[in-house]
Structure 1
Amino acid sequence: MSRVRFDALLQEVGPRLVHFGTHRYPISPSQRLAVTLRLLATGDSHQTVAISFRLGKSTVNSIFKETAAAIWNSLHNVVLKFPTKEDWQRIAREFWSYWNFPVCLGAIDGKHVVVPSPANSDPRALPGTDTIVPPVFVGDEAFPLKPNLMRPFPGSNLDHEHKIYTYRLSRARRIAENAFGILSARWRIFRRPID
């Protein structure tokens, strides 16, 4: 992370990281942010980061929890806002346009995360038909087949229609694999189990 980006992030979250108390030498917001970013970027243990910053392990634990919460509270409405009805409709149009997969709201992969279905998600007709289907997410073979979660057909001995479906679903699903690949390359904490 460049110094300019670090400073911009510090300006956003720094006010939430100021501690007033009885500590003789309070840990500055910039050091708190640096500790948290080091944990996220390297995936190192809290003990390793504590040694490199000359802090106690329990201090690093509390710094990480407080700073991660401060980052979330400061930025979630900007970087990870919950989609509106119009956003869901745009996403479904883009999946159809880019990947030829209709009525799809997203792709999931890698980390198994519980995702609630969007409120008031209206079923739609498949393009060019009168067949009404609920909006879906697409995933790989590791996910269960559900009314709102589609996965490829198993096996390799598929008829033509099933092969086309599996090919289109796999194309649409790859964006999640690519996103997680980029995410884990940048933030190595995603390469190991997260407690």
Structure 2
Amino acid sequence: MSSDEDDVILLWWWARQKKNFKKTSTSVVANELHSDPDKFKTFYRMSKIGPKIFKKDTNFRIAVPVEERILITLRLLKKYYFRFLATGCNFRALAQHFMRGETTVGKIIAETTEAIWECLQPTYLPVPSLELWKNIAARYDLLWQLPHCLGSIDGKHIRIKKFNNTGSRNFNYKGFFSIQLLACADADGCFITVDIGDLGRNSDSGVFRLSRLGRWLEIGKMDVPQSEPLPYDNEGPNFPYYFCGDEAFPLKSYLLRPYPQKTLNDQKRIFNCRLSRGRKSVECAFGMMVSKFRVFETPIACSESTVISIVKCACALHNYIRKTEGKLYEKQNMNSQDENNIPQHLKTTQHQQAVHNLSTASSVREYLSSYFLRPEVSLPWQWKYALYSVANYIQSDVPKLYINMIFTSKNSKKILFFKLALYINTSKNSKKILFFKLALFINQII
């Protein structure tokens, strides 16, 4: 072609580029800016993120501006709500909205989420130091009455579309494809550490064992506080700091899990209740993150690296919003239990802290469970909960009636009657016949 034809083609190309630029930047980005210019400039300035995602113009195309790259990933409405992360819409819908190609939108989201993680992680999800661990433990004791607790650990399945050439590696027991998010949260529902990308078919215990946090705790590389006596137990042994998890995790001296349901007594039920009460912080963190970022409500159709970047970005943004705009939990009015208010028949289970050798994980859990029975640290409702949990397990109102009788009656013989009646009513071997026989027998005694 002649030079004149080349000039015509070049002019036509530039006219097309300018037309596309007006359609995208002028009608979309500018409208978002004019809707709330002050907050747009404050939030979208992002001096740390801008250089990481800035692209130069070339002779053949005009680069997507930094503002539009952020806007594709994050969209400002009233507060910091997010377009892709909040709605979970696919790349095709985003491409049509911003008048960009699907491949371009996918690449922009991958680059922007990775840049946001790199900028927010050092400040809002740093590697915990010794001082940070102590602050977390103090906060746990203040809010959830769990002394020496460093955080709650749990896993979450992130829904995905099956990756290419992966077979059933990511197919989990719930019946969908996923990757694992293993997180540790503090008392206020902020993530401390996250481990992302394990296969969906793996169990929580397996993911924890292979995670960086699990390996560091196992070899003692994590800079956690040294063992020391529990509050109100200065004469007791040095008790280690620990994490709390559910039944899916292994029992370790640094990771406590609830007692099995088949071997429960009053002391163990109270321990399970107190531990589960503190463990809900990580469950609340997952719930808050999913409610903000609706992308997790539907399968994410991206490459594996992009999915990991999206999850990391969401975790960092969750901490950012939680610490800058969120409302931290407040201390509940939990006064120590007065020993006079504890039922007489339950006082015999107190002060059984004969275990001083804390060399095994079972002894650590046993000592903490007996520690929760002390009047200085027990909670007002924990004794009643120990018996109500039995009634809730069999879903009957009759045991609850007996429980109320036990707590309100002052006659020791009647208390014995109601205790036996409660035990028989919860048994499975001809409980009705045996109950009436025993009731007639005890009625003669009373």
TM interval, shorter chain, is 0.7 to 0.9
Supply the distance in 2 between the matched residues of 1:187 and 1:98 (Cα, whole angstroms).
Answer: 27
Residue 245 of structure 2 corresponds to residue 139 of structure 1: yes
Q: Pick from 166, 170, 176 the counterpart of residue 282 of structure 2.
A: 176
Q: Pick from 103, 119, 133 the counterpart of residue 222 of structure 2.
A: 119
How far apart are 1:91 and its partner, in Å?
0.8
The alignment's TM-score, normalised by the length of structure 1, stands at: 0.84
Q: Pick from 117, 121, 146 the counterpart of residue 101 of structure 1.
A: 146
* Contact 1:41 1:188 (8 Å CA) reproduced: yes
Residue 132 of structure 2 corresponds to residue 26 of structure 1: no
Supply the distance in 2 between the matched residues of 1:192 and 1:145 (Cα, whole angstroms).
Answer: 34
Higher RCO (C-alpha 8 Å, min separation 6):
1
Q: Number of matched residues?
A: 195
Supply the distance in 1 between the matched residues of 2:229 and 2:93 (Cα, whole angstroms).
Answer: 53
| 2:255 equivalent in structure 1 | 149
User: After superposition, what is the alpha-carbon deviation per residue over 1:116-171, rounded to whole angstroms, capped at 9, x for unaligned?
Assistant: 14723244135116444443222233434334322222327621111111111111
Change (3 A) 1:9 1:108: farther
| 2:295 equivalent in structure 1 | 189
Change (3 A) 1:6 1:188: farther
| 1:73 equivalent in structure 2 | 118
| 1:162 equivalent in structure 2 | 268
Supply the distance in 2 between the matched residues of 1:54 and 1:145 (Cα, whole angstroms).
Answer: 53
Supply the distance in 1 between the matched residues of 2:243 and 2:99 (Cα, whole angstroms).
Answer: 45
User: After superposition, what is the alpha-carbon deviation per residue over 1:25-68, rounded to whole angstroms, capped at 9, x for unaligned?
Assistant: 21111111111122211122223322322222221121011111
Change (3 A) 1:137 1:8: farther
Q: Which moved more, 1:96-105 or 1:83-92?
A: 96-105
Change (3 A) 1:132 1:50: farther
Change (3 A) 1:177 1:30: same
Supply the distance in 2 between the matched residues of 1:52 and 1:146 (Cα, whole angstroms).
Answer: 51
Report the AA paired with residue 7 of structure 1: K
Q: Which runs of 5+ in 1 are unaligned?
A: none
Q: Pick from 42, 52, 64 the counterpart of residue 16 of structure 1.
A: 52
Q: Which moved more, 1:182-191 or 1:165-174?
A: 182-191
| 2:316 equivalent in structure 1 | none
User: After superposition, what is the alpha-carbon deviation per residue over 1:2-33, rounded to whole angstroms, capped at 9, x for unaligned?
Assistant: 94554333212223322114252211111111
Change (3 A) 1:142 1:56: farther
Q: Which moved more, 1:57-66 or 1:43-52?
A: 43-52
Report the AA paired with residue 27 of structure 1: V
Change (3 A) 1:60 1:143: farther
Q: Percent of pairs identical after alignment?
A: 36
* Contact 1:17 1:66 (8 Å CA) reproduced: yes
Runs of 4+ more than 6 Å apart: none
Q: Which moved more, 1:25-34 or 1:3-12?
A: 3-12
Residue 122 of structure 2 corresponds to residue 91 of structure 1: no
How far apart are 1:97 and its partner, in Å?
2.4
Supply the distance in 1 between the matched residues of 2:262 and 2:41 (Cα, whole angstroms).
Answer: 52
Supply the distance in 2 between the matched residues of 1:62 and 1:14 (Cα, whole angstroms).
Answer: 16
Report the AA paired with residue 43 of structure 2: L
Change (3 A) 1:76 1:6: farther
How far apart are 1:82 and its partner, in Å?
2.5
Change (3 A) 1:178 1:186: same
Supply the distance in 1 between the matched residues of 2:299 and 2:246 (Cα, whole angstroms).
Answer: 20
* Contact 1:103 1:126 (8 Å CA) reproduced: no
| 1:59 equivalent in structure 2 | 104
* Contact 2:130 2:225 (8 Å CA) reproduced: no
Supply the distance in 2 between the matched residues of 1:56 and 1:136 (Cα, whole angstroms).
Answer: 49
Supply the distance in 2 between the matched residues of 1:42 and 1:142 (Cα, whole angstroms).
Answer: 32
The alignment's TM-score, normalised by the length of structure 2, stands at: 0.40
| 2:73 equivalent in structure 1 | 36
User: What is the root-mean-square deviation of aligned Cα atoms in Å?
Assistant: 2.6
**3-state SS of paired residue (2:261):** coil
Change (3 A) 1:193 1:121: farther
Q: Which moved more, 1:32-41 or 1:125-134?
A: 125-134
* Contact 1:101 1:169 (8 Å CA) reproduced: yes
* Contact 1:107 1:138 (8 Å CA) reproduced: yes
* Contact 2:246 2:257 (8 Å CA) reproduced: yes
